[in-house]
């Protein structure tokens, strides 16, 4: 096998990996899980979690807002 | 629309934009397939907890840096599970899919097997630079290594992968 053929094989392998993004259904699950954790339950109060968790903030909706502002491009 | 609902929608939009690529990085950094969605969520939760550390420059690079740490933890956890005698989750735990998905899994399996043969440090640089297409400056910052070390690891990783491809051909 020539060097150029090997290089093309490696390029093809990398191209395969680049196209292998998370499936939309898996992204849906990530979004659902994250929003469940970060948004307050109906009736107020924070989501379940101990004092050391990210969900222990007394006003999680402001936390969601803060994350959005910080990460927005 | 209520302001709060709009902000939640914005977070959802951000996650939808970046999660596909964060998940890909986690997969090729060595997180077991069945754990990739949970690990992806963990990346965004860590980002949420550490949002004050974000410099506002590149959310993509910032999230991938977090993904590197989440992947390292996941690999350690997997190693502990194996040492404790628990098998890794079988491939059959993934829902059966159509032919195209089976072909995708086959190619993915081959890529993962090749990456598994790389030393961890080389694998991280190769995945972040060649697969995730970050600049070497970003990669060196993410991993906390000198730029030249990054280039050296990348060169070694590519050479090793090429050798493995040759060995496969000759076998």
The pLDDT tens digits of the residues spanning B69-92 come to 999 999 988 888 888 876 544 444
At A50 the pLDDT is 40
B128 with B64: CB under 8 angstroms?
A: yes
B-chain residues near A61 (CB < 8 A): 4, 7-8
Q: What is the pLDDT along chain A (73 residues), one digit of tens a residue?
A: 566 766 888 999 999 999 999 999 999 999 999 888 887 777 654 444 444 444 444 444 555 556 565 555 3
B-chain residues near A37 (CB < 8 A): 45
A-chain residues near B49 (CB < 8 A): 54
Regions in chain B scoring below 50 on pLDDT: 88-94, 96
Taking CA–CA distances from A37, the nearest residue in chain B reads B45
At A60 the pLDDT is 45
Sole residue written with tokens 């992968």: B161
Quote ipTM for the complex.
0.82
B54 with B160: CB under 8 angstroms?
A: no
Q: Which of B8, B28, B170 faces A64 most closely, judged by CB atoms?
A: B8
B61 with B142: CB under 8 angstroms?
A: yes
Q: Best interface-test mutation with A: which of B9, B18, B19 has the largest number of A CBs within 10 A?
A: B19
Q: Which of B10, B12, B21 faces A21 most closely, judged by CB atoms?
A: B21
B-chain residues near A63 (CB < 8 A): 48
Q: Is the CB of residue B167 less than 8 Å away from at least one CB of chain A? A: no
Q: Which of residues 25-64 of B touch A (CB under 8 A)?
A: 27-28, 36-38, 40-41, 44-45, 47-49, 51-52, 54, 56, 59
- Distances from the Cα of B171 to the Cαs of B11, B23, B164, B167, B168, in angstroms? 50, 33, 10, 6, 5
Global pTM?
0.78
pLDDT, mean over chain A: 70
**Gap between the Cα atoms of B30 and A21, Å rounded:** 14
**Cα radius of gyration (chain A):** 21
Residues ≥6 apart with Cβ < 8 Å to A27: B15, B16, B19, B20, B23
B165 with B141: CB under 8 angstroms?
A: no
């Amino acid at each position: 096998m020539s060097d150029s053929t090997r290089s093309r094989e490696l390029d093809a392998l990398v191209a395969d990996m680049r196209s292998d993004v998370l499936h939309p259904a898996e992204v849906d699950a990530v979004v659902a899980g994250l929003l469940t954790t970060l948004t307050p339950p109906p009736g107020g109060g924070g989501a379940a979690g101990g004092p050391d968790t990210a969900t222990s903030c007394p006003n999680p909706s402001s936390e969601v807002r803060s994350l959005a502002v910080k990460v927005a491009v | 629309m209520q302001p709060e609902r709009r902000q939640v929608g914005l977070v959802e939009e951000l996650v939808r934009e970046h999660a596909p690529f964060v998940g890909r990085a986690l997969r090729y950094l060595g997180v077991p397939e069945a754990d990739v969605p949970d690990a992806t969520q963990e990346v965004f939760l860590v980002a949420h907890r550490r949002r004050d550390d974000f410099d506002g420059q590149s959310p993509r690079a910032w999230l991938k840096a977090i993904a590197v740490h989440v992947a390292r933890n996941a690999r350690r956890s997997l190693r502990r599970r194996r040492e404790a005698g628990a098998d890794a989750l079988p491939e059959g735990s993934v829902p059966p899919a159509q032919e195209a998905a089976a072909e995708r899994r086959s190619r993915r399996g081959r890529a993962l097997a090749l990456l598994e043969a790389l030393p961890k440090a080389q694998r991280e640089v190769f995945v972040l630079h060649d697969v995730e297409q970050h600049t070497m400056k970003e990669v060196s910052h993410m991993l906390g290594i000198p730029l030249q070390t990054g280039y050296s690891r990348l060169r070694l990783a590519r050479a090793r992968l090429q050798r493995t491809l040759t060995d496969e051909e000759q076998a």
